[in-house]
Amino acid sequence: MSMSRIVVMGLGYVGLPTAAVFASRRLQVLGVDVNEQAVNTINQGKIHIVEPSLDIVVRATVTEGYLKASNEPVAADAFLIAVPTPFKEGKVPDLSYVECATRALAKVLEAGNLVVLESTSPVGTTEKVCEWLAQERPDLTFPHTHGENSDIRVAHCPERVLPGQVIRELVENDRVIGGITPKCAEEAVTLYKQVVQGQCVVTNARTAEMAKLTENSFRDVNIAFANELSVICDELDINVWEMIQLANRHPRVNILQPGAGVGGHCIAVDPWFIVDSAPEQARLIRTARAINDGKPHWVLTKVEQAIKELEAEKQGIQRSDIKVACLGVAFKPDIDDLRESPALRITQDIARLGCQVLVVEPNVQELPPSLQAPNIHHATMLQVLQTANVTCALVKHASFMEVRSLLQELDGLIDVVGLTHS
């Protein structure tokens, strides 16, 4: 079947690059988002997020007429759902964005269309997409009830990309294609083979959903090991960065780097979907989440200790006069994404200690509302080097690495990401 007209629901950190990559293959792509500002920005050939090379692709595809943005979907051959899947109170998966996007596109569905859920989701969500579509369009048939003879094909095809490398990895990485039926998977392969140079590996929808959750849980468990080692080494007065470097010389050992915690919309969230689905069995996964979620508190304790030592050393100094610098509030290096960021959470907690907080975040023009407070200031690195009493390195941005020699000389440096370790 022809796959020349594509609608992408959601124009965030995955949806927009996905739309742009398909449009770069001279396919007609409409990106849909509820954010009016994002829609207007994209239609001007600009981007509203930070991602290397994305601006070039968007500018070219918009200019050439292959990519447009709108608040409403239109008729197409294939529909990709790339909206967030956060969790609610109690770490319960929140599928409201997926459901809303699904019901929105249902009204323009036609027999022969393909619907692909790209959003990382709990096991069984793709089947729910079928049910929601069927509720909206009783005039059409769907694979969960009519199998291979359905009017509409439905599949799950999760992204597996790294922020900062999304454009390249959308093309080069292997893609897991999970169909509700084999024909659903087959048509999804036809769609993705227009852009994907890696392998399109076929399975069923539930296995594809679990595979994506497993990938991120694997990384979370391994990060938890590194974070736990950093706490242990601090207790034993051992340089964790040197120790890991030495341990990694073993031919079958590859310990990850510790940090301020784990953030973002994937690794910090997806393991909870497994825990929610199998709470009695997911013991290691739950423990890893607890370790990584607890790391920001450990960092805060280190900062609070440094402040108290400063107060004891400088008699008469007021807490409100002490300046604590927080280097980075994004969830990982060299991006502007603050979702589930442990660095952001740590910065908020430091501000509650009553000191002045100097935030250096080179990837955002202004601090988010959660950091709008009288004692929080969007600062430059120069201001930090000249005035900070305590400096907490929370994110390993490239621009910070450029001044690592100056940072190493600072008194009161708390480096939780190995910024100053060679």
| Catalytic positions | 212, 266
Interatomic CA distance for residues 24 and 237, integer angstroms: 53
Amino acid at 299: V
Between strands 153-156 and 175-179, the pairing is antiparallel
Task: Report the SS3 class of residue 407.
Answer: helix
Give 372's contacts (C-beta < 8 A, 6+ positions apart): none
Q: Cβ–Cβ contacts within 10 Å for residue 47, how many?
A: 20
Q: Cβ–Cβ contacts within 10 Å for residue 287, how many?
A: 13
| Nearest-10 Cα torsion for 140, 146, 152, 153 | 170
Say if residues 104 and 69 touch (Cβ distance below 8 Å). Answer: no
> Exposure pattern of 300-327 as b/e (b: 16+ CB <10 Å)?
beebbebbeebeeeeeeeeeeebbbbbb
Give 182's contacts (C-beta < 8 A, 6+ positions apart): 148, 202
Interatomic CA distance for residues 107 and 15, integer angstroms: 21
Using CB atoms within 10 Å of the CB of residue 277, give its burial: 0 to 12 exposed, 13 to 18 middle, 19+ buried: middle
Q: Any idea what DSSP says for residue 147?
A: G
